[in-house]
């Protein structure tokens, strides 16, 4: 199946740490037998409402093909990773 994961990274995080985080999620998809189709870095955008007292975040949209187990693992990883404010994984339209 084809999925999209939109996640928000704390904008105060250093560039190197942010890039390492993005690579970590891409690597997780590959490790679980999936394929990353694209990773769009939207940059820092203002949030609609404050999250953890922050008013902006770095947006990343990753499109990938993988099985359900990869989606579960990505969701779990995002939940326990410092610096991730929000995430949303949806099935992509074909």
Which are the contacts of 18, defined by CB distance < 8 A and separation ≥ 6?
Answer: 9, 58, 83
pLDDT digits (tens, 9 = 90+) for 33-85: 999 999 999 999 999 999 999 999 999 999 999 999 999 999 999 999 999 99
Strand partners, 86: 8
pTM of the predicted model, to two decimals? 0.92
pLDDT at 71 (0 to 100): 93
């Amino acid at each position: 199946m084809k999925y999209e994961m939109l996640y928000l990274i704390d904008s105060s995080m250093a560039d190197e740490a942010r890039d390492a985080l993005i690579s970590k999620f891409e690597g997780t998809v590959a490790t679980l037998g999936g394929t990353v189709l694209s990773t769009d870095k939207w940059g820092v955008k203002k949030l609609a409402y404050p999250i953890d007292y922050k008013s902006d975040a770095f947006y990343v949209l990753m499109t990938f093909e993988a099985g359900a187990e990869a989606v579960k693992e990505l969701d779990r990883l995002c939940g326990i990773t410092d610096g991730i404010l929000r995430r949303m994984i949806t099935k992509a339209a074909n």
